[in-house]
Amino acid sequence: MKQIGAIHTPYKRTKEVPYQSSSSEEVCEIEVFMEYGSGLKDTDIRPYAPEFDEKPKKEKAGVKVGWLEGRIKR
């Protein structure tokens, strides 16, 4: 296996991570290394990360969202 990216969260221990991401207002980011970004061009990740479709609702509610959230090509 080869690492193609990283997930950035404020959590230091696994037990701190909420079971459901919707129960947290913390901002986490998924980073895909530049050399692998083109491989995601036509990938639809919504079935695996449905919260990405929640960006407009979260912004209206005043919740800070990450730079990648909501940027899924349809």
The answer as to whether 39 is a domain residue is yes
What would the mean pLDDT of 19-27 be, rounded to a whole number?
A: 76
Provide, rounded to the nearest whole percent, the portion of the chain with pLDDT above 70.
53
Retrieve residue 25's tokens.
Answer: 């207002």
65 pairs with which residues across the strands? none
How far is Cα 56 from Cα 63, in angstroms, rounded to an integer?
10
- Where does 1-74 have alpha helices with state H? 34-37, 55-60
Q: Does pLDDT of 14 surpass 60?
A: yes
DSSP classification of residue 35? H
The answer as to whether 69 is a domain residue is no
Side chain identity, residue 11: Y
The answer as to whether 74 is a domain residue is no
Predicted confidence band at 68 (pLDDT cuts at 50, 70, 90)? Answer: low
Q: Does pLDDT of 72 surpass 60?
A: no
The answer as to whether 12 is a domain residue is yes
The answer as to whether 44 is a domain residue is yes
Domain range for 35 is: 5-60
The answer as to whether 67 is a domain residue is no
The domain total for the chain is 1
